[in-house]
Amino acid sequence: MEMILGKMGEVVLKGGNRPQFISRMLRVIRARLKPLGRFNIYEMQSTVYVEPQDEDIDCDEAFEIVKRVFGLVAVVRAYDCEKELITIQRAACEKLAPALERARTFKVETKRSDKRFPLGSPEISREVGAAVLEAFPHLKVDVHSPDTTVYVEVRDRAAYVHTDPTPGAGGLPQGSAGRAAVLLSGGIDSPVAAWMMARRGLELEAVHFFSYPYTSERAKQKVLDLAKILVKHTGYMTVHVVPFTEIQERIRDRCPEEYFTILMRRSMMRIADRVAEMHGCSALITGESLGQVASQTVKALGATGSVVSRPVFRPLIGMDKEEIVRVSRRIGAFETSILPYEDCCTVFTPKHPKTRPQLEAVEAVEAPAELTELEDAAVANIESIKIPR
């Protein structure tokens, strides 16, 4: 039978808390695979087993879903068989034939978890390798850099054969670290920040600031499309769309131009902090990277972060743009992120922004804006949009 095996990463190091992490990860896998049909999903010996129970299940789609589940460092499509040498040899030659036919060189690696099996790992590898060479005479053995590797795992319930594993998402299971609110714009950075912190076990609420008519409905839809991409990795998410136009206009009308971006960011942080409180989030997440733009200097970050008391996670803080783009491509967000629809962060951008603001000066120029009532109104008029998996 074809099945999926998921290899756990740092979850296995969790000591007495390990069962809770594994249980949460299994719940996530079950929930995400439920639309595809019936599966038997369980964990043994640091491996997650995903066994289809219906003949018409799309195993390709199931594999794509499982490899995005946080907590698994590698995923393979494997075949189980009885724990007899001749059966293992036959399974390797028949089930792995497509990969072996394409290869020129191969090797066999065996892991014998069931010590009751009469042969040791080297002997199993030798016997399976001999059977493969007989069935595929064009192949040669290369133990250093083969085109493909035949893996044999002799475990308690059965033996399993498969070829090279696919890297998994890694990290910790969804929700194992709590909840956080991410400030989600339509750019490259914030979706990457969201993915990186979800990978550390956080469930996410997204907060997006929308400045109609300065930003278009297409810009808003772009953010929702990014959220749809993210939920393939992070699970369910709600995007809380905050009407931000009046706040930005008030800052423009009453405050010095060079402080526009910092004051806008401070207002965003205050509102996001309130959304976090409303939805049980213990932290905020931003896509800021040190020195990338004027509002992301050490002084500017200090001025914007000072308005909230809960932790602010900035997972991109030490990354350069090339590194961020690489992750954006990996998670499938890049092509959507670069669509040419402006978000509110590009509205009213000052020609000469303040890069080293003193907190006392920022608070002094912010006071005349009297933003409290406008922020209350923005929170009261949030549009919350649930993003399905």
For the segment 346-369, what is each residue's pLDDT rounded down to a tens digit? 666 777 787 888 999 999 999 999
Secondary structure (DSSP) of 102-115: H-SEEEEEEEE--T
173: in domain: no
- The predicted pLDDT at position 389 comes to 74
**Is residue 288's pLDDT more than 90?**
yes
DSSP H helix total and E strand total for the chain = 14, 15
The structural domain count of the chain equals: 2
Provide the residue range defining the domain that includes 43: 2-167
Section 57-77 average pLDDT = 96
**Residues 102 and 224 occupy one common structural domain:** no
Question: In CATH, what number is assigned to the domain containing residue 62?
Answer: 3.30.2130.30
**Residues 83 and 194 occupy one common structural domain:** no
pLDDT, tens digit (0-9, with 9 covering 90-100), for 211-236: 988 888 999 999 999 999 999 999 88
Q: Bigger pLDDT: 265 or 354? A: 265
Q: Which of 137, 167, 197 is the last residue of a domain?
A: 167
With tokens 């953010």, the residue in question is 223
Closest C-alpha to 321, from 193, 200, 204, 189: 189
Q: Which of 167, 194, 213 is the last residue of a domain?
A: 167
163: in domain: yes
172: in domain: no
How far apart, in whole angstroms, are the C-alpha atoms of residue 387 and residue 191? 14
**Residues 67 and 112 occupy one common structural domain:** yes
Residue 252 near residue 285, CB atoms below 8 Å: no
How far apart, in whole angstroms, are the C-alpha atoms of residue 181 and residue 194? 9
**Is residue 335's pLDDT more than 80?**
yes
| Residue 268, H or E segment | helix 260-278
Q: Rounded mean pLDDT of the chain?
A: 94
**Is residue 388's pLDDT more than 90?**
no
Question: In CATH, what number is assigned to the domain containing residue 306?
Answer: 3.40.50.620
Secondary structure (DSSP) of 116-152: TSSS-HHHHHHHHHHHHHHH-TT-EE-SSS-SEEEEE
Share of the chain above pLDDT 70, in %: 98
Q: Which of 120, 141, 167 is the last residue of a domain?
A: 167
341: in domain: yes
Section 21-48 average pLDDT = 94
Q: Which amino acid type is present at position 8?
A: M
Section 4-13 average pLDDT = 93
- The predicted pLDDT at position 345 comes to 58
**Residues 163 and 190 occupy one common structural domain:** no
pLDDT, tens digit (0-9, with 9 covering 90-100), for 78-122: 999 999 999 999 999 999 999 999 999 999 999 999 999 999 999
